Amino acid sequence: MSLGLTMYCPFCHEHTQISPVFVNLLAHGIVQTTNIPAALDDPRGGPPWWIGVCDNKVCRKPVLVYGSAQMIYPTPQPAPTDPRIPEHIRRDLDEAKRCATVSAWRACATVARRAIQAACLFKGADDGKKLNQQIEQLQGQGTITNDLREWAHEVRFLGNDGAHPPKDYSQDTVTEDDAADALELAEQFLEVVFVTPAIAAERKAKRTSS
């Protein structure tokens, strides 16, 4: 039975549904079978913890679920990055996403910055320049718009905060919201630079071949 809950499985890394399982409990020497779907509607208290399994037939690994998936252990994988983005850049962003799933906010922001720099280099920015100069170079040659330039700089600032320790550690503030912003801006930057042109090219090829 499926409850309609989906996740990117922490074991097989595929997008899959979670199916509840029946659990045998040994109480006072008597084996009792708990009906997980029925337990979800238990009026006696708050949401229960229950065991689910990945529906991928080659996986079927178990996860521990709270209520209607407010919490799942092990933590599910984040949604993968669009495959139209070059693989080495995609790996960077996927790593930043995984950092976020374990609350590694500084690491998340730092690797998101790395993805931006990898994109700048891929688009022809000079390797010997610093990232702020590479961003300006792409905007100056018309490769990115002024809006994209601003997005890239914000990721750069957040990544710098993650990578470089401050003199005053009371100011060491790469928060969860900061990391989420770095991820969102970096992914949107990569979507505009790589994914949108690829979709347009695919549509043109389809139209002209028909």
Quick one: 143 and 180 in the same domain?
A: yes
CA distance 205 to 203: 5
Q: What is the pTM of this model?
A: 0.74
Specify if 204 maps to a domain.
Answer: yes
Quick one: 100 and 129 in the same domain?
A: yes
> CB–CB of 64/55 below 8 Å?
no
Specify if 52 maps to a domain.
Answer: yes
Task: Categorize the per-residue pLDDT at 199 as very low, low, confident or very high, splitting at 50, 70 and 90.
Answer: very high
> CB–CB of 125/137 below 8 Å?
yes
Quick one: 158 and 181 in the same domain?
A: yes
Quick one: 69 and 99 in the same domain?
A: no
pLDDT digit string, tens, across residues 49-104: 888 888 998 999 988 888 777 788 887 778 888 999 999 999 999 999 999 988 89
Given the structure tokens 């505009």, which residue do they identify? 192
pLDDT digit string, tens, across residues 110-134: 999 999 999 999 999 999 999 999 9
> CB–CB of 23/49 below 8 Å?
no
CA–CA distance from 7 to each of 52, 90, 101, 137, 150 (Å)? 11, 20, 13, 40, 33
